[in-house]
Every structure is written in structure tokens, then in C-alpha cells.
Amino acid sequence: MTVVGLTGGIGSGKTTVAKVFQALGIPVYIADDEAKKLMNRSKVIKRKLIALFGENAYVDDKLNRPFLADIIFNDKTYLEQMNTIVHPRVARHFEKWLKKQHAPYVIKEVAILFENGGHKKCDYVITVTAPKALRIKRLLKRETTSKEKIEAVMKNQWSDSEKLKLSDFVIVNKTLENTELQVKKVHAQILKKIA
């Protein structure tokens, strides 16, 4: 099964692009969503995160995301430690999911695909980009956060120029109409490559 990694900086529109691929009948695995589910479901992950961050890591048995975000985006070592707890389990979950898919290829959407070396496990990589100002505007509309917090997250991610050097395809996500056309074009190119 061909695995196509889908990545892009925060606010670039990975989710929008993923939905267009889904509409074309391509199964999409959203690693961040699965990670969140596992962080709430897995007793092992819970135990390890509480050991790392303290009792405040969970409130009413649910992951305390604002509390963790404040810590991990201000201290990279905590972010790395959390990733070593969560990522291996997400990888195993993805392998199980992959075995159940019946499509020409699958999309694996990962925010930090390059940062964690995940691109090496993909056959192809698509990077979604958008101008920084547009990304910030989207995020401020979507989430209750500040421009400073968004920029702190952006600092922890690779720049677009670094990502593009290692990408097979690039989708510039400014307008939905144009993005849909680009996705269809990339979809056709992938089908051609794996035929």
C-alpha cells in the first residue's frame, strides 16, 4: 500500500486538503486526532504523561490540552519527551489501520512529519503552504488563542522552505476552489506514479 504523507505548518489548511482527498475516495489517517484519542484512552500513555507533567495533565479524566500546550511550546525538551511517549503508539495504530484499507493509496496527515522523521516512512510527501498572515488570520478565527501563541507553535515547526526541499508535491492553499483543483491534479499524478 502506497503511503502519502500530508503535512504543512499550523494554519496552512492540511485538514481542508485532507477532506478533498477523502471526497476523491482516498482514506485519510489524521495522526493528531488519533494521538488525542490515544492520550485520552490509553492507560499507559495517561500514566506516563502524569509522571512527566504532574496531576494537572488530566482534568476529569480528560487530557488538559491548554495546560500541556503552555508547557510544551515553551520547552522543547518536554515536547520531545511527550512525543517519545505518544508517537510509537500512534505508529502502531496507523499500521493496524493501514491493513484494513482498500484503495490505490492512503494519506497520512501529520503536522510534524519532517520534524519527527516520519517522511522517511512515506512513499511520497505533499506539503501544504499558505502565506503566514493568512495562516495567522485563519487560526485566530478558528481558535481562542493569541497571535503570540500561534507564533510560538510556528517556531517549533520547520519552515516551508525546509519542508519543500523534501516534498514531492506542494499545494498552495489560498482559496478553496484553487486548492481543490491542485488536489485533483496531485491525485492524478500519484495514481500515474503508482500505476
Residue positions in the annotated binding site for ATP? 11-16
Q: Which candidate, 30, 65, 67, 61, places its Cα nearest to that of 46?
A: 61
**b/e sequence 27-38, b meaning 16+ C-beta within 10 Å:** bbbbbeebbeeb
CA dist., res. 90 & res. 37, Å (int): 10
Percent helix, strand, coil in the chain, to 5, is: 60, 15, 25
CA dist., res. 71 & res. 28, Å (int): 30
Q: Rounded to 5 degrees, what are φ and ψ at 172?
A: -95, 110
Output the known binding site. Answer: 11-16
**Contact criterion met (CB below 8 Å) for 107 and 18:** yes
CA dist., res. 108 & res. 123, Å (int): 11
